[in-house]
């Protein structure tokens, strides 16, 4: 059975201390970062495109990735797929609309 990404072997919630934020809109990134700071998270990595997201995820190995599906250069869903499947990092997708194709694609890669 696959282990839940936010639970340890004792079913206790793991703490999330580092987060990768990838969104091409600096206002959205800043808003998310400010909220994460309010929640006590200080190790936040930010970028604005899919190529940077996958590179930074490999380099920094964050506990969680938050990725906009509409980003450029490798696309949000492609970056999320690579990060989730290759690095086993949990991913939250940001979507401006509920597109069935994107939802199905995300479900197929375990997001």
Coil, helix or strand for 2? coil
Structural contact between residues 35 and 58, judged by C-beta atoms closer than 8 angstroms: no
Q: Extract the tokens encoding 20.
A: 């990768």
Cross-sheet strand order for the sheet of 43-47: 43-47, 18-22, 64-68, 91-94
Tokens at 106, concatenated: 């995300």
Distance CA 56, CA 47 (A): 8
Res 1 pLDDT > 50: no
Q: What is the pLDDT of residues 8-62, one digit of tens each?
A: 565 555 678 899 999 999 999 999 999 999 988 889 999 999 999 999 999 999 9
| pTM for this prediction | 0.80
The confidence score (pLDDT) of residue 39 equals 86
Tokens of 4: 């839940």
């Amino acid at each position: 059975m696959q282990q839940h990404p936010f639970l340890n072997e004792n079913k206790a919630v793991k703490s999330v201390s580092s987060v990768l934020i990838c969104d091409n809109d600096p206002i959205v990134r800043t808003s998310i970062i400010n909220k994460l700071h309010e929640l006590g998270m200080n190790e936040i990595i930010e970028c604005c495109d899919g190529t940077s997201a996958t590179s930074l995820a490999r380099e920094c190995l964050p506990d969680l990735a938050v990725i906009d599906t509409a980003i450029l250069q490798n696309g949000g869903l492609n970056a999320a797929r690579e990060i989730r499947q290759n690095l086993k990092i949990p991913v939250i997708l940001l979507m401006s609309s509920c597109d069935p194709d994107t939802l199905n694609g995300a479900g197929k890669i375990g997001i």
